[in-house]
Amino acid sequence: MLKRVIIDVSGIVQGVGFRPFVYTIAKELDLKGFVLNNGHGVHIEIEGTQQKLNLFLTRLQDELPPLAQIDKIKKVLKKPQGDRSFVIQESNQSQKTALISPDMSICDQCLTEFYDPHDKRYHYFATNCTHCGPRYSIIETVPYDRASTSMKFFRMCQACEREYHDPLDRRYHAQPISCYDCGPTLTLYDAKHQKIDSQDLIKKVATLFNQGAIIAVKGLGGFHLMCDGYNYESVTLLRQRKNRPLKPLALLFPTIEAIEENSKVTPFEKVMIQSKEKPIVLVHKKTDTQIASNIAPDIDRIGVMLPYTPLQFLIFEYFKNPLVATSANLSHEPIIRTKDELIKKLGNVVDYILDFNRDIVNAVDDSVLQMIDQRPLFLRLARGFTPKSIPLPFKLNKKILAVGAEQKNTIALAFDDQVILSPHIGDLNSIEAFDYFERTMQTFKQFYDFIPDLIVCDRHPEYATTLWAKKQQIPVLEVQHHHAHILSVILEQQIHGQVLGVAFDGTGYGDDHTIWGGEFLVCGDDTSYERIAYFKPLVLLGGNKAIEEPRRIALAMAFEVMDLDSVKKTKISDWFSSTELNLLHKAYQNKINTIQTSSVGRIFDGVASLLEIVHVLSFEGESGLKMEQYYNEKISNYYNFTINHGIIDYDPMISALLQEDNLIRGVSMFFNTLIEIIVSIAHSQNLPLVLSGGVFQNKVLVSLILKRLGKERIKYYFPQKTSPNDGSISLGQIAYGIRHSRNN
Ligand code: ZN
Ligand code: FE
C-alpha cells in the first residue's frame, strides 16, 4: 500500500546540496513527490511503500552531504497524491529562519580537479562547489542566492551556468561557482599600491617569500600576514613592524607530513588538523626543527593549520616551507577585509599584497583549539564552526538577543526553537572593533528578520555592550559574568537541575562591585545562584596596571603574608626600586588606586611572577601558557589552604613560593593546589560540576582536573562545542534570558 509523508527538515540544509541529495535518494528508491526550500529549511513530500519510505528516512540521516547539519525532522502522514515522478521545486521563501553555513575548506573532489592539468579548473584559485568554499563570509542577506552574495558582480559563463542548473552536478546551486572565464581574478600589489605585472603571479609570490618578503594574502574571511616560517629575519621584521614582540604566531603548513616533521602530533590532533573545518591546532613543537625560533618564543607549543582555500594550495605549489599566517589587523581591531584598508593600516608592515576581487562581506577569523586527549578545547570559535546553531527542546515565545562580553566578544540570537551563535568578534577596545560588533549585529538581524523582544547583557556597567544594550529601548536583563559562564555550558549541554559552577576566569564584574574570577556558584534551575566559595581577594596595585604587570600581583601577594621590611629581604626587592616598594606599600595599606579581585587568572599571573617566569606581560594568557611546560606529574604535593566562610585562603602557598627556587616544583604544586581546592569543595556540595571561564583554556590544568574528577567519580560538565572563555558569555546570557522568560 502506498503512503505519503510530509517531511520538514531544519538545520543547515540550504546551500549545501541538500535538495539534490534528497532527489538522488528518492530516484534510487523509485519514490515520487517533490522537495523544496522554504524559510524554515527543506520541505519534502514523498510517497511510496512503507518499507521504501523507512529506507529513505534512514538514508536521509546517514548519508548527509558534508556541510549539512540536521537539527530537527518533523514528519506528518498525508493521503497519497499519485505523483508520477520526483522533482526539485522552486523555493518558496516566507519567513527567514533557515541557517547559514559557515565557510568550509576546499573539498577532496574540488582538490582533485585543482591538481588535474586537463581540468578546466586546474590551479584555479577560487574553485568551489556545493560541498565547500565560502558561505557566511560572502552572504549579504538570505535567501542564500547568488544575488545576495558578493558573487553577484560576476556573470556566470555558459559552462558554469550549465553546472549550476543541473540537479545532478556537484555544483548545482553552488552560489560562488566560477571558473577562469567568468570568476574573480588575482592581483599583486606592492605596498605603494602599484600593481605588479607578472606572467606567473604565484611563482612571483613564491620568489618573494623566498627572498624574505612579508605579504598580505586575502583569505576566506580576511587577510593574513604571511612570511617564510623558516626565516628568522623575516619573522623578526614582521614582529618589529607589527610591534608584536612575543605573542605566538600561527603557521600554515603545506601538508600534514610537514606538520609532523616539525611537531609532535597525537592521532586526535591529526584528525582535528585535517578536519573539514581546518582550525589552528596548538601542538607540541619538536626541539630540532627548522621553524624560526621566534615563532613562539619560550613556549613549547605552536599553532599549526593546513591550507583550506585553493589559493593557499596554489601558493604551496611553488613555495614549500610553512608560512606564518597571522590575521592582518591592528591590535585591538578586527581582521582586515579589503586591500584599501590594508594599505591604510598595515601599509608599513607588508611588502606586497595578494588580492582578488571577490569581496569579503562578513569578516571571520581562523578558529583556534587544542586537544585534551580526544576532546577539543576551543580557544576561538570562528571560521568553519560559526555561525553555530544550537537546537532547543522547546519553542520560545520571545526573540532574545545577547550582546556578550567586552573581550572575545560574540553575540547570540534566540528565536523559535534555536540559538544562533555568531563568530568571534573580538575585543571591543577600539572604535573599529565596536563598528564590527554593530555590523555583525546588523548582519544577523537581517539574516533572520530579527527584532529582539528582550536584550541580555553583562552586569558590568562600563562594558560597551552593556551601554549599547541600554540605549535600545527594548527591555534589558543583566547577568553576572561568571553566572553566564556556567549557564553557557548548561545551555550547550542541556543540563537540568542544580549544579556547582566553577568559574575560574580573568575578569568579571561581581555583585559586590569588585572583580570576580575564582568563583564557586551553586546554580539553580531558575535564574538564581549562590556564591558559596571564592578565592581570598587580592589587591590590584595600580588598578588595571597590575593586569599587565604580574610583578605587582606578586608584590600584593607578598603584602598579604609579611610586612614591608620582610618583603624587602625577598627576591621581590630586585623587581622594584626601594621608592616604588614604599609607594606601593602605602597604596596597599590605604587602598589607593587599587581594585579587589578574586580572579584565578590574576593568581596565575602572581605565581608566574613569584617563580620569575614573567614579570610584565606582552600578551594575554602569557603566564599560564608559559607555566604549562614546567608541570611535572611525578610531583603530587600541594600547598595547604583553608576555606573559612567560603573564603579560600592560600597564604601558605604565597609564603612557600616566596622562598621557592625550583621552577618545576613551584609550578607543579601550584596546579595541584588548584585541583585539591576544586575537589574538596566538590565533595562538600555533592552536586554535578560545571566548569568554565578563561582560565580553563589552560591545557595542563584542564587535563589534570578532568582526570582527577573522573577518578573521584564526580560528575562534571565541561564545554564541548563552545569555548570556556568569554566567547561563550553571549550563550550564557541567552540561557539566562530563556530562563527568565519561561518564568515570567
Ligand atoms: Zn568542492
Ligand atoms: Fe570571563
Asked if 290 and 327 sit in the same domain, the reply is yes
In this predicted model, what pLDDT tens digit does every residue of 369-420 receive, in sequence order?
999 999 999 999 999 999 999 999 999 999 999 999 999 999 999 999 999 9
Asked if 447 and 431 sit in the same domain, the reply is yes
Residue 498 lies in a domain: no
Asked if 291 and 180 sit in the same domain, the reply is no
Is residue 78 within 8 Å of residue 5, measured between CB atoms?
yes
CA of 405 to the centre of ligand 2 (A): 8
Residue length, the chain? 744
From the CA of 134, the nearest ligand is 1
CA of 333 to the centre of ligand 2 (A): 20
CA of 406 to the centre of ligand 2 (A): 9
Torsion angle (degrees, nearest 10) of CA 99, 103, 109, 110: 130
Mean pLDDT across the stretch 201-226?
97
Q: What's residue 735's pLDDT? A: 98
CA of 375 to the centre of ligand 1 (A): 28
The confidence band for 141, taking pLDDT boundaries of 50, 70 and 90, is confident
CA of 420 to the centre of ligand 2 (A): 20
The confidence band for 95, taking pLDDT boundaries of 50, 70 and 90, is low
Q: What's residue 320's pLDDT? A: 97
Q: What's residue 628's pLDDT? A: 95
Asked if 176 and 191 sit in the same domain, the reply is no
Q: What's residue 12's pLDDT? A: 87
Backbone angles phi, psi at 173, to 5 degrees: 55, 30
CA of 444 to the centre of ligand 2 (A): 24
Is residue 600 within 8 Å of residue 535, measured between CB atoms?
yes
Residue 113 lies in a domain: yes
Backbone angles phi, psi at 469, to 5 degrees: -60, -40
CA of 441 to the centre of ligand 2 (A): 21
Would you say residue 703 has pLDDT above 80?
Answer: yes
Residue 236 is inside which H or E element, if any? helix 232-242
Peptide bond connecting 143 to the previous residue in cis, omega within 30 degrees of 0: yes
The confidence band for 555, taking pLDDT boundaries of 50, 70 and 90, is very high
Q: What's residue 16's pLDDT? A: 84
From the CA of 174, the nearest ligand is 1
Task: Write down the residue that cell numbers 602530533 correspond to.
Answer: 265
Peptide bond connecting 550 to the previous residue in cis, omega within 30 degrees of 0: no
Residue 382 lies in a domain: no
CA of 690 to the centre of ligand 2 (A): 14
Q: What's residue 93's pLDDT? A: 59
The confidence band for 167, taking pLDDT boundaries of 50, 70 and 90, is confident
From the CA of 599, the nearest ligand is 2
CA of 130 to the centre of ligand 1 (A): 6
Greatest Cα pair distance, the chain, in angstroms, is 95
Q: Which residues make Cβ contacts (< 8 Å) with residue 452, sequence separation at least 6? A: 399, 400, 401, 413, 472, 474
In this predicted model, what pLDDT tens digit does every residue of 630-667 receive, in sequence order?
999 999 999 999 999 999 999 999 999 999 999 999 99
From the CA of 694, the nearest ligand is 2
The beta strand positions in 246-367, using DSSP E, are 251-252, 263-264, 280-285, 301-305, 323-327, 352-356
Residue 509 lies in a domain: no
Q: What's residue 208's pLDDT? A: 97
Task: Write down the residue that cell numbers 564590527 correspond to.
Answer: 436
Asked if 682 and 544 sit in the same domain, the reply is yes
Q: Which residues make Cβ contacts (< 8 Å) with residue 710, sequence separation at least 6? A: none
Asked if 540 and 674 sit in the same domain, the reply is yes
Distance CA 145, CA 28 (A): 28
CA of 582 to the centre of ligand 1 (A): 66
Q: What's residue 92's pLDDT? A: 62
Asked if 196 and 328 sit in the same domain, the reply is yes
Is residue 8 within 8 Å of residue 32, measured between CB atoms?
no
From the CA of 65, the nearest ligand is 1
pTM: 0.93
Choose one of 30, 55, 88: the last residue of a domain: 88
Asked if 78 and 199 sit in the same domain, the reply is no
- Average pLDDT in the chain: 95
Please report, for the domain that includes residue 315, its CATH number: 3.90.870.10
Residue 322 cell numbers, joined: 610553512
Please report, for the domain that includes residue 614, its CATH number: 3.30.420.40
CA of 599 to the centre of ligand 2 (A): 10
Please report, for the domain that includes residue 81, its CATH number: 3.30.70.100
Q: What's residue 90's pLDDT? A: 74
From the candidates 19, 358, 459, 531, which is the catalytic residue? 19
Asked if 690 and 579 sit in the same domain, the reply is yes
Is residue 2 within 8 Å of residue 47, measured between CB atoms?
yes
CA of 267 to the centre of ligand 2 (A): 31
Asked if 289 and 219 sit in the same domain, the reply is yes
Q: What's residue 100's pLDDT? A: 85
Please report, for the domain that includes residue 152, its CATH number: 3.90.870.30
In this predicted model, what pLDDT tens digit does every residue of 565-613 receive, in sequence order?
999 999 999 999 999 999 999 999 999 999 999 999 999 999 999 999 9
**Which residues crowd ion ligand 1, with CB under 5 Å?**
107, 110, 129, 131-132
From the CA of 485, the nearest ligand is 2
Is residue 639 within 8 Å of residue 653, measured between CB atoms?
yes
Q: What's residue 94's pLDDT? A: 52
- Encoded amino acid at 286, one letter: K
Backbone angles phi, psi at 157, to 5 degrees: -75, 170
Q: Measured on CA atoms in the order 674, 678, 679, 681, is the torsion positive or negative?
A: positive
Q: What's residue 88's pLDDT? A: 87
Q: What's residue 222's pLDDT? A: 97
CA of 411 to the centre of ligand 2 (A): 15
Asked if 154 and 247 sit in the same domain, the reply is no
37 as an active site residue: the answer is yes
Would you say residue 340 has pLDDT above 60?
Answer: yes
Strand partners, 47: 4, 32
CA of 726 to the centre of ligand 2 (A): 5
CA of 503 to the centre of ligand 2 (A): 8
In this predicted model, what pLDDT tens digit does every residue of 440-470 receive, in sequence order?
999 999 888 899 999 999 999 999 999 999 9
Q: Which domain holds residue 684?
A: 533-717
Residue 518 lies in a domain: no
Asked if 25 and 110 sit in the same domain, the reply is no
CA of 482 to the centre of ligand 2 (A): 6
Distance CA 606, CA 615 (A): 9
Would you say residue 624 has pLDDT above 90?
Answer: yes
From the candidates 37, 231, 262, 362, which is the catalytic residue? 37
Residue 401 lies in a domain: yes
Residue 381 lies in a domain: no
- Report the first-to-last Cα separation within the chain, whole angstroms: 49
For the chain, how many structural domains are there in total?
Answer: 5
CA of 236 to the centre of ligand 2 (A): 33
From the CA of 163, the nearest ligand is 1
Choose one of 88, 121, 138: the last residue of a domain: 88
Choose one of 309, 340, 369: the last residue of a domain: 369
Q: Which residues make Cβ contacts (< 8 Å) with residue 406, sequence separation at least 6? A: 427, 428, 429, 458, 460, 463, 464, 465, 726
Mean pLDDT across the stretch 34-45?
88
Q: Which residues make Cβ contacts (< 8 Å) with residue 726, sequence separation at least 6? A: 404, 405, 406, 407, 408, 409, 694
In this predicted model, what pLDDT tens digit does every residue of 248-306 receive, in sequence order?
999 999 999 999 999 999 999 999 999 999 999 999 999 889 999 999 998 999 999 99
CA of 175 to the centre of ligand 2 (A): 38
Residue 522 lies in a domain: no
The confidence band for 198, taking pLDDT boundaries of 50, 70 and 90, is confident
